[in-house]
Amino acid sequence: MIFFPSYVAVALVVALGWWVIPLATVVAFSLVSAWHFGIEDEQVMGRSSVLNHLLAIAVGGLVIWIPVLTQPDRVGSLLGSIVPPELILSTGTIVWTTRWIAAALLPLAVSAILRGLMTHEHRGRAARNLCFALMFLTADVLVSFGIYFCGWHSIRGLRGLTTTHRRSLPQVLLATTPLSVAAIVLSVIGMWFWSSGQFLSDAVARTLFIGLSAIAVPHLLLHGPISRWVGTSAGVSTVGASSSSGNVEVAR
């Protein structure tokens, strides 16, 4: 009664942002996603908390920063199929703004990868990030993002749930099947809705990016402040807080 209405309400607010304030929505979506990828996948560590978060945004956002710098026309065309037609002139501003952010953060990511390659403890992670960077540089935006998001981030998240809840992968997949099926059905409905009068590729792009941006903020809240609040309220340790994060992830 509380969780689902709250989750859907936040998602709807973000989705509405694509029509009302597309520039702010894209920038916020990019930064939030980059931070989440960096914290969840990379666990980059700086000398201070602020530096650690900056490195997380820089490294975790390589999937965004590299394509927007090397494939601006392709990114612009994708945004053109997402942003409402009456706001189509804003796509150039969106790409321009995001490229400036990417140019500022990319040197931090490069330095983090180079430093990791020279450190035995982080060499494997840095080599993986380097391979991802090469893929982001050479592959199409949708292909590279799909491989990274579905082939790495999502699978890694499922493996984390198996450890947190001490269950096998089939058990976790079975537990998340109802919501997964519901998400697929909604995606198909979204693609059918957006495909009216458009090419299917535009409908897929609009459904993918608006859908992902809509769930990014509540997803971040569940993995960040809410999970810590649940753990603190229950009087548990860091391990307990991690378990709480896993519980809300299963609900998601």
Burial class (CB in 10 A: 0-12, 13-18, 19+), 23: middle
The C-alpha atoms of residue 129 and residue 122 are separated, in whole angstroms, by 11
User: For the ranges 99-108, 179-188, 239-248, which has the lowest average pLDDT?
Assistant: 239-248
When pLDDT is averaged across residues 137-152 and rounded to a whole number, the result is 88
Tokens coding 183: 């998400």
| Percent of the chain's residues with pLDDT above 70 | 74
Tokens coding 17: 């942002």
Which residues, in sequence order, are CB contacts of 36 under 8 Å at separation 6+?
Answer: 60, 216, 219, 220, 223
The C-alpha atoms of residue 162 and residue 243 are separated, in whole angstroms, by 11
Length of the chain counted residue by residue: 252
pLDDT tens, 20-72?
A: 888 888 888 888 888 888 887 666 655 667 888 888 899 999 999 999 999 99
Tokens coding 167: 């269950």
pLDDT at site 63: 93
The C-alpha atoms of residue 175 and residue 167 are separated, in whole angstroms, by 10
Largest CA distance in the chain: 55
| Residue 177 φ then ψ, to 5° | -60, -45
Tokens coding 19: 């029509």
121 DSSP assignment: G
Residue type, 72: P
Which residue segment(s) compose the domain that 28 sits in?
Answer: 3-251
Is the pLDDT reported for residue 199 higher than 80? no
When pLDDT is averaged across residues 164-173 and rounded to a whole number, the result is 84
Average pLDDT score, the chain: 77
SS3 2: coil
Into how many domains does the chain fold? 1
